[in-house]
Structure 1
Amino acid sequence: MTITLNRRRFLIGVGVTASAATLSGCSWLTENDSVQRVLAMAERLTMGSQRFLLSDEALAREYSEADLSPVFKSNGTHEPDSEDYAALADNNFADWRLIVDGLVEQPLSLSLADLKKLPSRTQITRHDCVEGWSAIGKWTGVPLGLLMQTAGLKPDARYLVFHCADEYEKTLDGSGQYYESIDLVDAFHPQTILAYGMNGEDLAIPHGAPLRLRVERQLGYKQAKYLMRIEAVDSFARFYRGKGGFWEDRGYEWYAGI
């Protein structure tokens, strides 16, 4: 527990510093080799320790409804600044589709109604943000592993890349498109779901409507919102700066286990 808490404090410090650096236009974090070596060492230690000490299916703590936070902050984007997204939202996401493709045997195109017909999982978990705040929420959605079993992964698939509707200011890599990625261990974890419900209601726009990722054993920036596409790949090196996610491209760890 001491190791986990100390590491979380370290990550919070790095995260706040990285955020400040990005907002101020400073690129020292992503260009400083010493900083990057320290981050890489911490990431390897955390991932190796967690995978060694815990089984692939060990669960993050779940709570009761009495523990739900009265206020659950919206992390990251509050609403994508996109005409296409606005049109989808105006029609209550009836025209939205989740695309599942890449290294799969059977590409999928699923509506929100399609997803809601599939077996679901509801879980009450704590969201830990790298900025230092936490909140407990109730999430309902489709187990990601079930969806990937339906699509059928090809033998060379190693990661899932999540493409999102939101964009940040175009910095560093010339692209503001938000994306994230996880490996197949986390993809098939029982608590990794594609959530369309929060606290007994449809997911609200500030929290990622119509669909967001919940990968409960990792920090909040891994919980990608406004999902549009899931791409199975053998490597994420070809995406943007090749670090596996929008914030990872800007100095955050790819494996943000807690």
Structure 2
Amino acid sequence: MSKPQSSGPNRSRRRLLSGMAALGAGSLLAGCDRIADNASVKRALGSVEQLTYKAQRLIASRQALAQEFDKSQIAPVFRPNGTTDPQEDYYRAWVENDFADWRLTIDGLVEQPATLSLAELGEMPSRTQITRHDCVEGWSCIGQWTGVPLADLLDRVRPLDQARFVVFHCADHTYGGSDLYYESLDMVEAYHPQTILAYGLNDAALPVANGAPLRLRAERQLGYKQAKYVMRVELVDSFRNLHGGKGGYWEDRGYNWWAGI
């Protein structure tokens, strides 16, 4: 199926956004635990990490692709991690009816909010990519992902000019905690061609353990950015009113927001 043409203003927005440096945090100093234990150094690192992120945006291609692999390199079983079987009542109900009642909501700072079923997402132009998942815990796994390019969904809802970040709200309470999992990307990463909302893994429907019915794949980011069980995509101008205000579940607990690899 050929990809539908998008309106001129949205494509112009992509070109504009590709030249912007958004606020973030780098991971260059993430391994310096002894230094980072000092509270004053932590405050200073915040500014350094922002500079690292902005410097990366200046020197790296906005469209540079993460490495893709051959089918022969796909792992026999893609390793699940984090939450693997959400027990929330609404999620169990979705599983029972094969996600027929599940809907993805896209809203926030957009001109035209949308609500889409899994079937409707499956009818949109798709992208398939074989990539490596790199976990912050030190392991990697190669899988084949199929899904809708996030750029196409954003073009559909038409972001407002003040939208700076895309937030992914998830259905699971990680490790039984009180907060639902969430993650976020800046607009440059959101429009990257390898950033997709995946509903397929290795030529089959996405399994529950790996984030069914829909998960984020942002292939230039570490594993904790790859939000599973996505049920809402929200465009915002800042994180100040979201959970701990740092832009992600693990970021609220000390991880760096910028997880580029």
Which TM-score band applies after superposition, normalised by the shorter structure? 0.7 to 0.9
Pairing partner for 2:186 from 176, 183, 197: 183
| Number of the residue aligned with 1:136 | 142
Q: Distance in 2 between matches of 1:50 and 1:125?
A: 22
Structure 1 residue ranges, 4+ long, deviating more than 6 angstroms after superposition: 7-10
Indicate yes or no: 2:223 matched with 1:217: no
How far does residue 194 in structure 1 lie from its aligned partner after superposition?
A: 0.2
Q: Distance in 1 between matches of 2:118 and 2:47?
A: 40
CA RMSD of aligned residues (A): 2.3
How many aligned positions are there? 235
Q: Deviations over 1:92-143 (max 9, x none)?
A: 0000000000111111000000000000000011100000000111000000
Pairing partner for 2:207 from 204, 207, 225: 204
How far does residue 81 in structure 1 lie from its aligned partner after superposition?
A: 1.8
Indicate yes or no: 2:44 matched with 1:33: no
Deviates more, 1:228-237 or 1:65-74: 65-74
1:70 to 1:11, Cα distance in 2 relative to 1, 3 A: farther
Q: Give 3-state SS (helix, strand or coil) of 1:193's partner.
A: strand
How far does residue 177 in structure 1 lie from its aligned partner after superposition?
A: 1.1
| Number of the residue aligned with 1:114 | 120
| Structure 2 runs not aligned, ≥5 long | 1-25
How far does residue 36 in structure 1 lie from its aligned partner after superposition?
A: 3.2
Indicate yes or no: 2:53 matched with 1:50: no
How far does residue 225 in structure 1 lie from its aligned partner after superposition?
A: 0.3
1:60 to 1:165, Cα distance in 2 relative to 1, 3 A: same
**Structure 1 contact 12–132 (Cα < 8 Å) conserved:** no
Q: Distance in 2 between matches of 1:135 and 1:41?
A: 33
| Structure 1 runs not aligned, ≥5 long | 1-6, 18-28
Pairing partner for 1:162 from 161, 164, 168: 168
How far does residue 46 in structure 1 lie from its aligned partner after superposition?
A: 4.3
